């Protein structure tokens, strides 16, 4: 009798408890970190962290994808030794294709500033514009935006992200490094190549890590996407906040968009969003995979030094009537 009861209970549990969904596969199994996305007609260009930055091109969001080459033709004089740049992102303006990137600046204790480069083609390579950065705390190396009032006086800046509002005004978002970290925005000229009148302003600040800002305007609402927690483990996550004032998210509620538990991925972050040709939206992000395949890492694997790398994922991004974003099917 007891055996029959236990078998019946096990059977009922199997029918009640849903099976854990399999983790989605990447759209591009290549070293992709901090993707910045530019859609040109039906093609997608993804800019990512690496030596002089990396450019990859997808015929659709799903692919096939291929490497285009380095984002920058060269590094400018203000950059310290080494060609590495972080989190490049680009858009199209009256100046052509304009790329923003962060790099370690000279005489700044290993901290980064943000530069600008231009190209006549989306895939580059991009030529640095002048020998001074656009954003550099304290005006170091001739930086136009001195990042007034940042939380840590010795902190640099990283993660540039362009934003254009419904009136055509252009801005650049970025993150201040070290903890506490903050997200800021600076107004730009119409070409997106120089700071316009007015200093950058802080949008919000966190005691821990907040980075990789991306802003979208939906009617009268401004939606700010960002990454939270440490990038080097599975806790990395994507969040969003909403405000009617593009300059103030300090009191906005922080919502979760993607976590490891919710997606099956390891550290779904570094997200960027873009409209798609079908009238919908896509979200691109990176996540950690371990070994030679594309299986998402576990934190234990990362702690134990298993070979791991970040790859590119993409999913449908849905919007509700009140400008609430949600992630649909992964591609």
- Tens place of pLDDT per residue across the chain (331 aa): 334 433 443 333 333 333 345 789 999 999 999 999 999 998 999 999 999 999 999 999 999 999 999 999 999 999 998 899 999 999 999 999 999 999 999 999 999 999 999 999 999 999 999 999 999 999 999 999 999 999 999 999 999 999 999 999 999 999 999 999 999 999 999 999 999 988 899 999 999 999 999 999 999 999 999 999 999 999 999 999 999 999 999 999 999 999 999 999 999 999 999 999 889 999 999 999 999 889 999 999 999 999 999 999 999 999 999 999 999 999 9
Question: What are 119's two structure tokens?
Answer: 């190209």
The reported pTM is 0.92
- Closest to 61 measured CA to CA, from 314, 324, 306, 312: 314
Q: Cα–Cα distance between 208 and 237 in angstroms, integer?
A: 13
> What is the model's pLDDT at position 21?
53
Other beta carbons within 10 angstroms of residue 139's beta carbon come to 14
| CATH superfamily of the 25-330 domain | Glycosyl hydrolase domain; family 43 (2.115.10.20)
- The DSSP output letter for 191 is T
Q: Name the phi and psi angles at 175, rounded to 5.
A: -115, 140
261's torsion region: left (phi>0), alpha (psi -120 to 50) or beta? Answer: alpha
Partners of 224 in the beta sheet?
A: 215, 241
Q: Can you tell me whether residue 263 is helix, strand or coil? A: helix
Residues 97 and 90 sit within 8 Å (Cβ to Cβ):
yes
Residues 169 and 153 sit within 8 Å (Cβ to Cβ):
no
Q: Where are the domains of the chain?
A: 25-330
Q: Which helix (H) or strand (E) holds 242?
A: strand 237-243
Q: Cα–Cα distance between 77 and 274 in angstroms, integer?
A: 33
Residues 117 and 101 sit within 8 Å (Cβ to Cβ):
yes
> What is the model's pLDDT at position 197?
85
């Amino acid at each position: 009798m007891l055996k029959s009861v236990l078998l019946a209970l096990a059977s009922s549990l199997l029918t009640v408890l849903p099976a854990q969904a399999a983790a989605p596969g990447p759209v591009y199994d290549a070293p992709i970190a901090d993707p910045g996305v530019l859609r040109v007609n039906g093609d997608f260009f993804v800019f990512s962290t690496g030596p002089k930055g990396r450019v990859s091109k997808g015929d659709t969001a799903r692919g096939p994808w291929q490497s285009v080459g380095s984002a920058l033709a060269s590094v400018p004089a203000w950059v310290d030794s080494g060609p590495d740049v972080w989190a490049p992102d680009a858009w199209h303006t009256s100046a052509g294709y304009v790329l923003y990137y962060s790099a370690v600046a000279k005489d700044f204790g290993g901290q980064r500033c943000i530069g600008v480069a231009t190209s006549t083609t989306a895939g580059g390579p991009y030529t640095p514009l002048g020998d001074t950065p656009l954003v550099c705390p304290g005006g170091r190396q001739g930086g136009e935006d001195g990042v007034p009032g940042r939380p840590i006086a010795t902190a640099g800046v990283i993660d540039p992200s362009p934003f254009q509002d419904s009136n055509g005004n252009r801005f650049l978002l970025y993150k201040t490094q070290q903890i506490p970290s903050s997200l800021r925005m600076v107004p730009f000229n119409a070409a997106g190549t120089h700071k316009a009148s007015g200093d950058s302003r802080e949008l919000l600040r966190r005691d821990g890590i907040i980075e990789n800002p991306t802003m979208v305007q939906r009617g009268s609402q401004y939606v700010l996407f960002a990454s939270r927690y440490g990038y080097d483990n599975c806790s990395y996550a994507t969040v969003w906040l909403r405000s009617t004032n593009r300059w103030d998210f300090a009191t906005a509620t922080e919502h979760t968009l993607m976590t490891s538990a919710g997606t099956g991925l390891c550290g779904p972050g570094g997200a960027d969003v873009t409209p798609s040709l079908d009238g919908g939206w896509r979200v691109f992000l990176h996540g950690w995979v371990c070994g030679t395949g594309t299986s998402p890492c576990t934190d234990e694997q990362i702690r134990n030094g298993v070979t791991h790398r970040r790859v590119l994922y993409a999913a449908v991004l849905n919007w509700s009537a009140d400008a609430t974003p949600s992630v649909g099917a992964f591609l």
